[in-house]
Every structure is written in structure tokens, then in C-alpha cells.
Structure 1
Amino acid sequence: MNAATLSRDALIPRNPDGLGRGLALALGVHALLLIAIAFGVSWRSSNPAGVEAELWAAVPQIAAPKPVEPEPTPQPVKKPEPPPPPPKAETPKQDDAQIAIEKAKREEERKRKEEQLRREEELKRQKEEQQRKLAEAEKAKKEQAEQKRREAAEAAAAEKRRQENLQRMASLAGNGPQNSTGSAAQTAGPSASYAGRIKARILPNIVFSDSISGNPQATVEVKAGPDGTIIGRKLIKSSGVPAWDDAVLRAIDKTEVLPRDTDGRVPSSLEISFRPRD
């Protein structure tokens, strides 16, 4: 029961002994009522925190238990949705004619690049071929110069041997060389007719049937033992006709033995020249 609704008769007890006790209780209730009104006015003006007030009635009553507020249930956390994909840009539609033009341009560009690549390869091949020919020409030039040098050296050596042979043949004829220091009528050696006798022995053994222009000469160095046995022969000057040179060498091998000179001796080494028309 609300204390504000109690009647005056209810506040004054009928028992005279409890008059003081009831008065004190009434005063306390009124004081609590004034406090409650003051807090109500203050709550409306400043939104204060909650205030609990106890009300006293004439008959003590037990307050009801404070209701238990249910615990808040946790709300599930929502995952943020991914942003929507950007709208695709609409490609402008091209008509068939424009597509054909672009395709023709691409094809023309491809052919142009292929032609340029082919030309570059051809130029590279021509350059390599030119360098190869220059290298071969330089090599041939060096080989030709070396060949000329060898031929000149061989010609000089052959000329030297020819001059020595001429001097020796002149000494066989009774005339010594111009720089001779001897006092004899002639240099000791083969007689003047000995060379002809040797050639007369060898020429019948030459077998040669080829036709030759001119009358080339082949000079051979022949070495013999004391008894005239031929122990060696060497071509010291070629006639320029290999077939004639080989025929002369074969004839010397076939002769085997040289004739003795007028003094009964055989020179250990001598040079003999042979011509097809001797």
C-alpha cells in the first residue's frame, strides 16, 4: 500500500501506548515521501542514475526480489560482403569492313617484316661469302709468292750447278778455269770424250714415245763405284716434262754399269744432260 494514500485514521493508532511510536513512524514516512518527490523532480531535470527508495507502510512488507535481467546473447559477426566487380566496359562494336581493314594491315605488316628479315639474311650471307673469297685470294697469293720464291731458288741453284759443270767440261777439254791456280795442262778428271761414251751407253736404254714440243734438257747427277757400278742417280734439273725425266732415270737404272775412262778409272760423281733430240 502507498503511504500517500493512507488516511489519517490509519496513521493514528488506537492504542495510547503506541502513540509515540506511530507518530515517529508517520514522520518517517512523510520524510521519505518528500525525499522521493525531490528525487523525482531532480531525475526529470538531469537524467540522474537510478535511485532506489524504500517505502514504509503501517504494516511491514517484504520487497519483491529484483528481477534478473537476461544476459545479452552475442550477435554473430557478419563478414563484410566483397565489393561487386566493376562493370565491364562495353567494347564498341566494329563492322565487318573495319575488321577486314585491320586484318589486312596486320597481314601487310607481317609480310613487310618477313621481307626485311630475308634481306638482312641475304646481305649477311653475301658478306660472309665475300670475306671467304678474299681470304682464299689472299691465301692463293701467298702460296703463289712462295712457289715463285722456291722456283727462283731452284733456278739459281741449277744455274750454279750448270756453271760449275761448264767449267769442269772446259777443264776436260784442256782449258782450266779462269781462276785456276794449277800448272798442269788440264785438270785431272775424265777425258773429253768420256761424257759422250757415257751418253752413248745410256741413250739406247731410254724408252720414250711421247711427242714433245722443243728440245728440253734434263740434267742428272750420277754416282758410281770404282768398278763403274752405278750406286745412285738424282735429277738436279728438270726438263719441264715429267715423262722425259722419268724415262732418263729409268734408262740410267737399266744401264747399271758405266764404262771406264781412257785411264781405266770411273769418276765417283758426274753430271750428265740428256735431250730427246741428241
Structure 2
Amino acid sequence: MSNATTGAMGLASRFHPDRDPLRPPPAPGLGRGFSFAIVAHILLVVALSAGVSWRSTPVPAMEAELWSAVPQAAAPKEQLPTEPQPEPPKPQPEPPKPAQPTPQEVQAQRDADIAIAKAKERKLKEEKEQREAEDKRKLEQRKKDEADQKERDRKAKEEQAKKDDAKEKQDKAKADKARKDSEARAEAQRQENLRRIQGMAGASGGPSSTGTALKSSGPSSNYAGRVMRAVKDRLNFDVSSIVGNPVTEVDVRCAPDGRVLSARVIKSGGVEAYDDAVTRAILGVERLPLDTDGRVPSQMILAFRPKD
């Protein structure tokens, strides 16, 4: 703390011994301002009182009476014109009383009302019967129309089914024909390839020859019978149940040493079980017998009859 501050605090405590030297001194001029405010409010109250009091002062009332020099009589009082009184209404004559109907008239009126009511009831009944008949007719007509529509739909479905069946058969026939044509073309191509290969290998057949061997040859006259006996020795089938004596033709492919390479039914006798039994018997033969020239044809078509 500076010396000037310390001196100021000591001076203040000297002139005002009841004041805390650590608190700040009050603002100067506070008492004058407070006094000025009190005086201003007093003047304002006085001015308001003066402004209200001058309006509340009562105004003095004065009266004057006038006298004429010569006596005069007063004019008569004005009479207002009187309105004419309305005349009383004239009494209206009483209306004549209706004549009382006689019992015969009452009975006739009652009968007429009953007849009218019955006629209305009969008309309503007839209208109801007509509506019911019309509704019944419409219902029967609707049922008939529905039955006719169902019949037309059924016929349309049948016709569509027939068309679909015919189209399916036609498509199947076309597919079978295309497959057979493709197989025929493939077989012709294979035969052509075989002829070309054999011709290149030194085949001796003429230009019009249809064979596939290097030279014309064939099994001996009794070779087929020997092969049939070899197959029938292995055939195990009860032929008593077969009607007639159908022919089953089998295409047999063999190796040069007599081994059976394949057996395929090319013409069925109508009994599938017998066809399968013949095929199994051919495949069951280990080696087919050799022909008189010591060879086995590479391809043979064997015909089997169950009752031969």
C-alpha cells in the first residue's frame, strides 16, 4: 500500500471516526439530490390539487320573473285533432251446418270405401305376382344362359384339346420322320465312308457293289443253324404262353475271333420278354462257332421263332 493511500485513510478516520476506513466513501451530493426529489414531488401534488379544485366549484344559480304592463288573457290551449274511432265489426252470420247423412248414405260410403280398399289390395297383389313372375323368368333365363355358356366352354375346350392332340401327334410324327431321316443319312454316310475306306484298302467289288467287305464272301449254308443252336442252348424261356409263332430278328455284331460285341433287336415278335431272353442268350454265348473257312462274320441278322 502507498503512502498517499495510507495518509488518506488516516485523514478520513480523523474527520469521521464512526466510518469503517476499509469501506469506500459514499458518493458526493447524495443528500442534495434526495432533498431536490422531495421538493419536486410536493410541487407536483400541489399543482394537481389546484387543477382539480377549480372544476369542482359550484356555479351560482339566478332566477328572473317578467311582468307585463297591461293584464292580458291567456290564449286557449291548443286542441289536438281527435282520430275517428273505428266502427265495431259487424257480426258475421254463422255458417250453415252441414246436413247429416242418412244411414243409407253412410252405408253406401262405407261400401264404396271397402270396394276401393279391396281394389287397391287386388291391384297390389297382381303387381306383386307380376314382379315375382318376372323375377322367376329372369332367374330361369340366367340359369339357361349360364348352362349354355358352360356347354360352349366345354365344347371349346374339347375342340382345343383335339387340336392340341392333333398338333402334338403331328409334331411327334415330324420329329420321328426327322430322326429317321437323320439316322438314314448317318447310315448312308457311314456306308459311304466304309466303301471309300475299303476301296482305298484294295476292295475288289465293282462300282455297283453294296457290300462292305474287301471281297465277296458269306457264311456257309449250315452256319446259321449252328449259331442258332448255340444260342438256343442258352435260351431259357417258357414259350407255351406265346400265342402263334412270331419272329424276332436280332442284329448281331461279332469280333473276328467269334466274341459277341453287341446284340440289338431290330424286329420284335410282339413279346418283349421273349425278345429280352433272346438278347441275353446271344450275349451269354462266349464265342460263336467258326465257319468252315475258320472265320466269323462281323455282322449277322438272326431270326428266332419260339416254337421252331
Relative to the length of structure 1, the TM-score reads 0.50
